[in-house]
Amino acid sequence: MPRTKKPAKRTTAARTKPKRPTKAELPAHARVILRGLKKDYPVAVCELTHESPFQLLAATILSAQCTDARVNMTTPALFAAYPTAQAMALADIAHVEQLVKSTGFYASKAKNLIGMANAVMSRFGGEVPTAIEDLVTLPGVGRKTANVVRSVVFDLPGLPVDTHVLRLSKRLGLTREEDPVKVEHELNALLPPKEWGEFSLRLILHGRRICDARKPKCGECRLASLCPSRQ
């Protein structure tokens, strides 16, 4: 009778989760993650519809607590009525509120849109500024929005940290920080500036498709072999 082979024992490496990278290992860890994300998401583009820096700035303000798809349903009518900072600065707030109502928090968003447009007109000659120090002085604009505008329309270094980037960075062992600004600085230190914007976009895509907040699909995740949080 043929002897049956004992099933091979699963190795310890196969059973155990990858360890968190040490500080010294972090740059290499980040590069491997970047390579993996590039394979799964070769094209990383901002999904907010826009035709100018002003329109992307306005759309990003509207995207707070709202999906890109919902914002993209709202902005055609908004930009038809107020396509530029000059037009938005003179807008009637009740009309803007009505146009952006479906994005939520519409009263403060309408106020910020008109305030942002007025600031762009009065302090920056009608042109959206490119420096992060200037962008964050505009109403409704924090570092995340400023970095979206810098990286997407100006092709400047900028790594927006939204809820997906924050969650995935922690799960993947790239940071232990909770504060988005600290996370941004830590990630910036690990990757070349030219990669910052698309790294953020790719993490967002991975967060939406695979690494869900409640039910991450670790079995389908290309990064599972190096993720200390894999389930």
Binding segment for ligand SF4 (CB under 6 A), chosen from 43-51, 64-72, 196-204, 221-229, is 221-229
Q: Is position 221 an interface residue for ligand SF4 (rule: CB under 6 A)?
A: yes
Cα–Cα distance for residue pair 220/230, rounded to 1 Å: 11
Of 193, 184, 145, the residue nearest 165 (C-alpha): 184
17 is catalytic: no
- Clarify whether 162 is annotated catalytic: yes
* DSSP for 147-195, written as a single string: HHHHHHTS--------HHHHHHHHHTTS----SHHHHHHHHHHHS-GGG
Buried b (16+ CB within 10 A) or exposed e, 8-47: eeeeeeeeeebeebeeeebeebbeebbebbeeebeebebe
Taking the complex as a whole, the smallest distance from the CB of residue 8 to ligand SF4 amounts, in Å, to: 24
**64 contributes a contact to ligand SF4 by CB under 6 A:** no
Is 145 one of the binding residues for ligand SF4 (CB under 6 A)? Answer: no
* Interface with ligand SF4 in residues 163-202 (CB under 6 A): 171-172
45, 92 in Cβ contact below 8 A? no
Q: Which stretch binds ligand SF4 (CB under 6 A): 14-22, 87-95, 180-188, 214-222?
A: 214-222
For position 227 contacting ligand SF4 by CB under 6 A, the verdict is yes
A 10 A CB-CB count for 131 gives 12
Q: How many residues sit in the footprint of ligand SF4 (CB under 6 A)?
A: 13
Which CB sits closer to ligand SF4, 204 or 221?
A: 221
Q: Contact region for ligand SF4 (CB under 6 A) — 57-65, 86-94, 115-123, 208-216?
A: 208-216
Phi, psi of 145 (to 5 degrees): -65, -45
Q: Which of 40, 144, 170, 194 is catalytic?
A: 144
Interface residues with ligand SF4 (CB under 6 A)? Answer: 171-172, 210-211, 216-218, 221, 223-224, 227, 229-230
Q: Catalogue the active-site residues.
A: 144, 162
